Amino acid sequence: MKKERGKKINVFPLTQDDYQLIEEAKSKIKDLYQDDKHHVGSALRTNSGNIVSAEHIEAYVGRITVCAEAIAIGSAISNGEKGFHTIVAVRHPYSDERNRELTVVSPCGMCRELISDYSPKCFVILEVNGELVKVKIEELIPLKYSRES
């Protein structure tokens, strides 16, 4: 149990498979990075053990941007996958940033909804208080709307 901004959340240590997933996301965005077009890569491990990776796509009109997590989820579903075990997103710095380190980032609200809708037991890898951990998606989207509520 860790505290994040005053809230206690259940965290799980990363496994070798989780580090492999992070490296896959990093590799994807390193290969495809372009200023103002692609700066986030994502990788997910499906319940069947397959890894699907993607990069985000950005248009000059920001509302058209599609997150890397959403593209990876869509690709997995389009290829017959039924659920996801773990997902991660990695941010590549823009070319004018001094810090050149790729960092694990938390999914946005829309991606949290998407992950939860398609795989409510999915783990999300993120950084909490300077440490890489994984949490269940339900920790990131408590009291989620559902038809049963």
Task: Decide: 28 and 146 in contact? Cβ < 8 Å.
Answer: no
Catalytic residues: 69
The angle subtended at Cα 140 by Cα 4 and Cα 99, nearest 5°, is 60
**pLDDT confidence of residue 3:** 57
**pLDDT confidence of residue 115:** 96
pLDDT at 8 over 90: no
Q: Could you tell me which of 52, 54, 69 has the C-alpha nearest to residue 113? A: 69
121-137 burial, b at 16+ Cβ within 10 Å, e below that, comes to ebbbbbebeeebbbbbb
pLDDT at 53 over 90: yes
pLDDT at 86 over 90: yes
Task: Decide: 92 and 29 in contact? Cβ < 8 Å.
Answer: yes
Task: Decide: 29 and 41 in contact? Cβ < 8 Å.
Answer: yes
**pLDDT confidence of residue 100:** 84
If DSSP codes are grouped into helix, strand and coil, which group holds residue 30? helix
Q: Pairing relation of β-strands 7-9 and 51-55?
A: unpaired
